Amino acid sequence: MFERLLLAVDGSEGSRRAGEVATELARLSGGEVIVCHVTEAEPEMSRGGLDPGEAPEHGEGVATFYGNALEDVGVRARIVMRVASHSHVASQIVEVAREEDVSVIVMGSRGLSDWSAAIIGSIAHKVLHLADRPVIVAR
């Protein structure tokens, strides 16, 4: 049933729990996990756009950590990285899910940006509304 799963991670406690869920689902189904991390980039004020070169470096390390942990327990894993403004993180997760034709998206209920999530809505909430496939939100 779950041939390909998308695990959206950001290094939070919610991501850790989502990783556990994705690992178990992939083990049961023999599926592959696509580990997706969308680095939040601040808009560059002088040019009015995003400068991927300004993105924090920790994103690749977070994705690599989850990819390695999955492979250590015998689950096939690949990493997909994206850069987006905070308001576009959810749409990037959904876009990767479509591009990779995953069966399900697995993510944590709360990420690292709790304060901004309280103001503009959580990433998980946005993914639930944008996704055209099942979403599992781990708590």
Task: Please give the backbone phi and psi of residue 138, each rounded to the nearest 5 degrees, phi first.
Answer: -85, 135
Burial of 125 (0-12, 13-18, 19+ CB in 10 A): middle
Query: What is the radius of gyration, based on Cα positions, of the chain?
Result: 14
pLDDT, position 33: 98
CB-facing half-sphere around the CA of 77: CA atoms within 13 A: 24
Mean pLDDT of 16-33: 97
Q: Which of 11-15, 18-22, 52-56 has the highest mean pLDDT?
A: 18-22
Q: Which domains are present in the chain?
A: 4-138 (3.40.50.620)
pTM for the model: 0.84
